[in-house]
């Protein structure tokens, strides 16, 4: 295999479509134009791989994960207390009280938000809840499709076995978020344009390891951190328990990616690793961009380009943006992507303010602590 060690990394503008990471105007001009469409097609071409070697346990860690996954299945309809009453406006207020109040530390003087009172902030909270859970739901469908692709394309039988359990997990996650949105909250949002672009890229790439990297490491890693953040912040017991179940599944999914790719990436050339580094950086930026919630501001009749810079100044918001990468950075380090190409990806995550997470425990080692069962979690809650 030829190793083009002198190949230069592409410029930031070539990877993410803009020169500056925090160009909010450029970020918020990326929008979906087909919100009313119920279907979205992505063309992809990849090899479907059959393995005639059915020996179970050749990759012992994947086999262990598969056995855990079989025992950890839960039922979205019967294992959660769906009779829990949820008053969404009261929930917004309770969450605000528990986490420091509305608009804390945000100077809105001279902006469209200057005349907002509690009623407007409560409505924003309601729409923000609807938007956040909707994006979780769309991301879970992306994981459902990607994991089905992994079953087809990964060459190892132990990986096919495990991935088949994740297909079931992801179907359950789509189901549970959809049910919560329909029965407990007050509306769906279409998929955010940045998230859809990332999912399209992951699905369209023909290489099976890119599906792993994009979905198992990047999207699922960020989701695990976001679910954990919401689990801490919400005061709603049904959502808290729902997220705990989903987190226990997601930890296995990310561990699956780490365990599968660690062996494979140790065999790649420098130029091939560079491609994976660029892809990981692009995925990280797209996922960060989506949290500006431009669709919420559009629905409220507010110019998102006006208020986004204000929101980015709130310390809690900045902390949230950075914490999203707490599961991703240590996993990329374990895969060798952080320091390949003279530490190019390390520099990018330093710019994103997230490099401090590099020595946190990676999910391949952590997932045992995030397991939940209907019995134990009911007691814990």
The model's pLDDT over 75-85, given as tens digits with 9 standing for 90+, comes to 999 999 999 99
198: confidence class by pLDDT, cuts 50, 70, 90: very high
Residue 157 burial by Cβ neighbours in a 10 Å radius (0-12, 13-18, 19+): buried
Residue 5 has pLDDT above 60, yes or no: no
pLDDT > 90: percent of the chain: 74
pLDDT > 70: percent of the chain: 92
Rounded to two decimals, the pTM is 0.91
369: confidence class by pLDDT, cuts 50, 70, 90: low
* CA–CA distances in Å: residue 188 to residues 102, 129, 199, 328: 23, 10, 19, 28
Domain segments of the chain as ranges: 190-380
User: In this predicted structure, what is the pLDDT of residue 191?
Assistant: 95
> CA angle, 253 as apex, 141 and 356 as ends, to 5°?
110
User: String of b and e for 71-87 (b: at least 16 CB within 10 Å)?
Assistant: ebebebeebbeeeeeee
368: confidence class by pLDDT, cuts 50, 70, 90: low
Residue 376 has pLDDT above 70, yes or no: no
User: In this predicted structure, what is the pLDDT of residue 374?
Assistant: 45
Average pLDDT, the chain: 90
Q: Which of the residue ranges 170-179, 196-205, 226-235, 303-312 would you say has the lowest mean pLDDT?
A: 303-312
Q: Which of the residue ranges 35-44, 161-170, 242-251 would you say has the lowest mean pLDDT?
A: 35-44
User: In this predicted structure, what is the pLDDT of residue 188?
Assistant: 92
The model's pLDDT over 305-340, given as tens digits with 9 standing for 90+, comes to 888 888 777 767 777 778 889 999 999 999 999 999
The model's pLDDT over 97-119, given as tens digits with 9 standing for 90+, comes to 887 766 666 788 888 998 998 89
Q: Which alpha helices (H) appear in 85-156, and where do they start and end?
A: 88-98, 118-153
| Upper half-sphere CA count for residue 5 (Cβ side, 13 Å) | 1
The model's pLDDT over 123-177, given as tens digits with 9 standing for 90+, comes to 999 999 999 999 999 999 999 999 999 999 999 999 999 999 999 999 999 999 9
d(CA 3, CA 73): 44
Residue 1 has pLDDT above 90, yes or no: no
End-to-end CA distance of the chain: 54
The model's pLDDT over 275-299, given as tens digits with 9 standing for 90+, comes to 999 999 999 999 999 888 999 999 9
HEC-encoded secondary structure of 306-355: HHHHHHCCCHHHHHHHHHCCCCHHHHHHHCCCCCHHHHHHHHHHHHCCCH
d(CA 188, CA 165): 27
**Which DSSP string corresponds to 67-93?**
HHHHHT---TTTSS-TT----HHHHHH
- Segment 45-52 shows an average pLDDT of 95
346: Cβ–Cβ under 8 A, 6 or more apart, which residues? Answer: 338, 339, 355, 358
Residue 280 burial by Cβ neighbours in a 10 Å radius (0-12, 13-18, 19+): buried
């Amino acid at each position: 295999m030829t190793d083009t060690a002198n190949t230069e990394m592409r410029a930031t503008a070539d990877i993410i479509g803009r020169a500056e990471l925090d160009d909010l105007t450029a970020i918020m001009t990326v929008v979906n134009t087909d919100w009313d469409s119920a279907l979205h097609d992505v063309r992809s071409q990849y090899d479907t791989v059959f393995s005639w070697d059915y020996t179970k346990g050749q990759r012992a860690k994947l086999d262990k994960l598969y056995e855990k996954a079989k025992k950890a299945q839960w039922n979205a309809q019967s294992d959660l207390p769906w009779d829990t009453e949820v008053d969404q406006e009261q929930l917004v207020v309770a969450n605000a009280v528990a986490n420091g109040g509305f608009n804390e530390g945000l100077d809105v003087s001279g902006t469209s938000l200057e005349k907002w009172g509690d009623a407007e902030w409560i409505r924003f909270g309601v729409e923000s809840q609807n938007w956040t859970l909707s994006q979780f739901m769309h991301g879970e469908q992306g994981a459902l499709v990607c994991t089905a692709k992994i079953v087809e394309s990964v060459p190892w039988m132990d990986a096919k076995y495990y991935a088949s359990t994740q297909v079931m997990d992801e179907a359950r996650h789509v189901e549970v978020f959809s049910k919560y949105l329909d029965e407990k909250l007050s509306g769906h949002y279409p998929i955010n344009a940045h998230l859809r672009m990332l999912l399209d890229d992951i699905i369209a790439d023909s290489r099976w390891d890119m599906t792993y990297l994009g979905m198992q490491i990047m999207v699922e890693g960020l989701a695990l951190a976001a679910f954990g953040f919401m689990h801490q912040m919400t005061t709603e017991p049904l959502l808290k328990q729902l997220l705990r179940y989903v987190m226990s599944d997601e930890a296995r999914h990310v561990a699956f990616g780490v365990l599968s790719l660690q062996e494979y990436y140790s065999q790649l050339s420098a130029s091939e690793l560079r491609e994976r580094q660029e892809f990981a950086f692009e995925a990280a930026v797209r996922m960060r961009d989506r949290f500006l919630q431009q669709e919420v501001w559009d629905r409220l009749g507010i110019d998102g380009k006006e208020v986004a810079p204000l929101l980015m100044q709130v310390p809690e918001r900045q902390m949230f943006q950075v914490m999203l990468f707490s599961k991703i950075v240590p996993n990329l380090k374990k895969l060798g992507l952080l320091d390949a190409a003279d530490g190019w990806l390390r520099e990018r995550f330093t710019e994103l303010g997230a490099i401090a997470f590099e020595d946190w425990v990676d999910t391949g080692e952590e997932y045992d602590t995030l397991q939940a069962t209907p019995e134990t979690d009911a007691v814990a809650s």
